[in-house]
Structure 1
Amino acid sequence: MCVLAMCFDETMSLHRVRQIVVGGIGCFYLCLIYPLFVDLHHSRWLIEMHNQECDPMFISFFIALGLFLVIAARRPEQHRLMINFAAYQSLFHCAVMTVMTVEAARNGTPRQIADVVITAVIGVVLLALTPRGATPQGDEGKRPQVSAGSSPAPPL
């Protein structure tokens, strides 16, 4: 509750809110390393889940995404593409899980909807907090000067 109060404090900058949210989502994804370890250590994906080898690979994607979100949290304005990727990935994942949930209900198979809501909230929050129109600082945004007698280098 204290973190939520900090996020909505009027004196806190939007930059700091972005850092907290992006870093928090990244840490949430990194915490998935424990279920991954348990699945792999006990061969749960093979024995109990009836050869569902996609689950550990799927979780490993989220762990890698979490690492990059934690890195992006330091300077969100310079990592807009990574934050947008995480947001859209979450929304597309939510769309697929929504279809799966509807199909499961039509076939009489119970399926929880909590993961659909969680991924939707993550995607919407990341999209809402993605920095807009900021230009990177430093030499990255500058074009090289061309002297009168030389031709510019061809684009790569």
Structure 2
Amino acid sequence: MNHAARIAYLRIALIGIGLIALVCFYPLMIVWPSGWAWHTGYSDYPLMIVGIYATLGVFLLIAARNPLEHLSLIWFTVWSSVVHGTIMAVQSLMHDEHRGHLLGDVPALFIVAIVLAVLTPRGETARTLRRAAWLKSSC
């Protein structure tokens, strides 16, 4: 896959993930609580986590316009998804009542991390592409 196609797919992934984070988490907590909600009954947790992911979703949508200018946000999303998913996987295995998360939000976080990590340029490739984009925009 050439660099232009990879960036185009990265933009699509950022838009998809951004929209999902922005509008889907709360409905998933309601429709499939055993796979997406970590608390039953009244809790401040759902609104807090929805607020965090909705904010991330907005910024991922912004990053989709020019992913090369937002690499740190994209890599934050990759690594925070890996860390969050790992912690949730361990907690799901330790507590029977949370096993449903192994089919819900845990794999979703790992899928987000894998998709973004595969599509996001890194190292010298990222630096070269950023320079080329900057030169193109300044001409």
Length-normalised TM-score, structure 1: 0.65
CA radius of gyration, larger in = 1
Q: Distance in 2 between matches of 1:23 and 1:121?
A: 15
Q: CA deviation at 1:49?
A: 3.2
Are residue 125 (structure 1) and residue 115 (structure 2) matched?
yes
Q: CA deviation at 1:68?
A: 0.3
Are residue 30 (structure 1) and residue 26 (structure 2) matched?
no
Unaligned runs of 5+ in 1: 1-7, 39-47, 139-156
Length-normalised TM-score, structure 2: 0.72
Query: Any conservation in 2 of the 1:32–1:59 contact (CA below 8 Å)?
Result: no
Deviations 1:69-91 (A, max 9, x none): 00001111111011111111111
Are residue 83 (structure 1) and residue 74 (structure 2) matched?
yes
Q: Distance in 2 between matches of 1:52 and 1:34?
A: 13
1:92 partner amino acid = V
Query: Any conservation in 2 of the 1:76–1:131 contact (CA below 8 Å)?
Result: no
1:13 partner amino acid = A
Provide the residue aligned with 1:142 in structure 2: none
For residues 11-90 of structure 1, the aligned pairs below 5 Å read 13-32=5-24, 35=27, 49-90=40-81
Equivalences, count: 117
Sequence identity of aligned pairs in percent?
29
RMSD of the TM alignment (CA)? 2.7
1:26 partner amino acid = G
Q: CA deviation at 1:129?
A: 1.6
Deviations 1:116-139 (A, max 9, x none): 11111111111122222333516x
Query: Any conservation in 2 of the 1:18–1:129 contact (CA below 8 Å)?
Result: yes
Q: Distance in 2 between matches of 1:13 and 1:126?
A: 14
Large movers: runs of 4+ above 6 Å = none
Query: Any conservation in 1 of the 2:7–2:119 contact (CA below 8 Å)?
Result: no
Partner of 2:95, secondary structure, is helix
1:24 partner amino acid = G
Q: CA deviation at 1:25?
A: 0.5
Deviations 1:33-66 (A, max 9, x none): 7539x8xxxxxxxxx9333212210111000000
Unaligned runs of 5+ in 2: 31-38
Q: Distance in 1 between matches of 2:41 and 2:75?
A: 35
